[in-house]
Amino acid sequence: MNPILTSHKLTKSFGKVRAVHRLDLDVNRGEIFGIIGPNGAGKTTLFNLITGEIRPDEGEVIFDGKDVTHDRTYRKCRMGIARTYQIPRPFLNMTVLENVLVGSLYGRGMGYSESKEKCEEILKRTGLLQKRDAVARSLPLFDRKRLELAKALSTGPSLLLVDEVAGGLNETEVEEVLEIIRSVREEGVTVLWVEHIIMAMQKGPDRLLVMHFGTELFCGTPDEALKSEEVQKIYLGAEED
Ligand SMILES: Nc1ncnc2c1ncn2[C@@H]1O[C@H](COP(=O)(O)OP(=O)(O)O)[C@@H](O)[C@H]1O
Ligand SMILES: [Mg+2]
């Protein structure tokens, strides 16, 4: 295979807490790669290490064949890595369209008219086009989650990291999120997707990594992963945050 992202022995501790511990990751180009694990398993820390928001104690991150372990976040953004946050972070006083334009103009460095066209396309794909002029502050949760995805897409990523975008949504909304993520993948974007909602992790990913105490407990198809005894024991017993 031709991996878009790998990590070798990636390690980050906070005091005595091993948030991510000697983790080897191998994400194939074009796949939806799901990550589950109990609260505190190190999923968000892994994302922070990949984007460069925090530095590892040890190990490396290889993106597109290049060692990017110590590259700054903005550089990684320009290289094609984008993420969403568990708690959406829109610019509250800006409209939906303006929020997405920021990523395109500054994150991607595109001109205004090209950006506007691209952003409208992204809003259409994320189901937000009709709300383009709504102020972000006024949006209900589902729209904020979709805006979070739209903002990440606006930088034109080849690798999209999605951190618990389906949390707090109802089943129909989760299905819509699944559709959006599938459509993103159809365009050739690789998706790394952390989620607690089992239905989403059963249906979305090609492969599923189960993390526990910062390490890999299991990696395989979602069916294999969710059926494995050790995973049921540690994960399903302590599923919710
Ligand atoms: N900035 C930080 N300072 C101290 N401890 C942290 C920090 N970030 C995460 N941790 C700890 O690292 C562990 C993994 O956290 P996190 O990556 O957020 O887990 P997850 O996203 O899987 O719920 C937890 O024990 C958490 O308390
Ligand atoms: Mg988290």
Is residue 87 in contact with ligand 1, taking CB distance under 6 Å? no
pLDDT reported for residue 240: 47
Is residue 17 in contact with ligand 1, taking CB distance under 6 Å? yes
CA distance between the termini of the chain: 35
- Which atom of ligand 1 is the closest one to the Cα of 37? 22
Is residue 50 in contact with ligand 1, taking CB distance under 6 Å? no
Listed as own residue / partner, the contacts of 135-141 with beta carbons closer than 8 Å and 24 or more positions apart are 135/92, 135/93, 135/94, 135/95, 136/90, 136/91, 136/92, 136/93, 136/94, 136/95, 136/96, 136/99, 137/92, 137/93, 139/90, 139/96, 141/168, 141/169
Q: Domain locations in the chain?
A: 1-74+197-241
- pLDDT band with cut points at 50, 70 and 90 for residue 152: very high
Is residue 40 in contact with ligand 1, taking CB distance under 6 Å? yes
Question: What residue's CA is closest to ligand 1, atom 24?
Answer: 40
Is pLDDT above 50 for 241?
Answer: no
Is pLDDT above 60 for 90?
Answer: yes
Q: Which amino acid is at 205?
A: P
pLDDT reported for residue 230: 76
Percent of the chain surpassing pLDDT 70 = 97
| Pair 215, 43: CB distance under 8 Å | no
Is residue 48 in contact with ligand 1, taking CB distance under 6 Å? no
pLDDT reported for residue 91: 94
The CATH number fitting domain 1-74+197-241, selected from 3.90.1150.10, 3.40.50.11260, 3.30.1360.120, 3.40.50.300: 3.40.50.300
Is pLDDT above 60 for 155?
Answer: yes
- pLDDT band with cut points at 50, 70 and 90 for residue 1: low
Mean pLDDT of 194-218: 95
pLDDT reported for residue 193: 98
Mean pLDDT of 56-60: 98
pLDDT reported for residue 108: 79
Question: What residue's CA is closest to ligand 1, atom 4?
Answer: 14
Percent of the chain surpassing pLDDT 90 = 88
pLDDT reported for residue 82: 97
Round the average pLDDT of the chain to a whole number and report it. 94
pLDDT reported for residue 236: 60
CA–CA dist 95, 98 (Å, integer): 5
Judged by average pLDDT, the poorest of 82-86, 152-156, 177-181, 229-233 is 229-233
